[in-house]
Amino acid sequence: MSDLKGTYALVLKLDRPSTITVGKLGTCSFSSGYYLYVGSALGGIRLRVRRHVRGGKRLHWHIDYLREVAAVIEVWYLASTARLECRWYRAAAGMNGAQVPVAGFGSSECRCTSHLLYFAAMPSFERFQRQLDDAGIGLTRAAPEDFR
């Protein structure tokens, strides 16, 4: 993977309900469960995901605030120079049980409702890959440790 450009999804687990301030979005409530956040890494997947996995950095992106209370448990990624995060969001939003927890989360540069989805149960990698159709070819599933 070295420094390939691409799109990634972080699967996060939040063990207990939390209310946190998320930058300009303000105070937001998060239920316990699973969250799927999609983003682009056109400067390099490894570097961007490593930053998210490690946490504890300066709070810059919306996801940094959620990372303060939720753990990354899986990373899904695809090397590509195309900006696919909006397509990925729409695919994930079509999965059973997907809910938008916070409008505008991670989507300030596009017209998507959000780039964060909530699931009461662990979202399925295989289901997500099927939702992407041909765009899911080459999608890789990794453990957060692979980015440390």
**Vertex 66 angle, CA 62 and 67, to 5°:** 110
Question: What is residue 1's predicted lDDT score, i.e. its pLDDT?
Answer: 52
**Vertex 60 angle, CA 89 and 109, to 5°:** 40
Regions of the chain where pLDDT drops below 70: 1-2
Question: What is residue 136's predicted lDDT score, i.e. its pLDDT?
Answer: 78
Question: What is residue 55's predicted lDDT score, i.e. its pLDDT?
Answer: 77
Question: What is residue 58's predicted lDDT score, i.e. its pLDDT?
Answer: 86
Question: What is residue 13's predicted lDDT score, i.e. its pLDDT?
Answer: 98
Q: How far apart are the C-alpha atoms of 112 and 83, rounded to whole Å? A: 13
Question: What is residue 2's predicted lDDT score, i.e. its pLDDT?
Answer: 57
Residue 64, CA atoms < 13 Å, CB-side half-sphere: 10
Question: What is residue 100's predicted lDDT score, i.e. its pLDDT?
Answer: 98
Question: What is residue 148's predicted lDDT score, i.e. its pLDDT?
Answer: 79
Give the global pTM. 0.94
Question: What is residue 103's predicted lDDT score, i.e. its pLDDT?
Answer: 95
Question: What is residue 94's predicted lDDT score, i.e. its pLDDT?
Answer: 95
83-92 per-position pLDDT tens digit: 899 999 999 9
| Residues 72 and 35 sit within 8 Å (Cβ to Cβ) | no
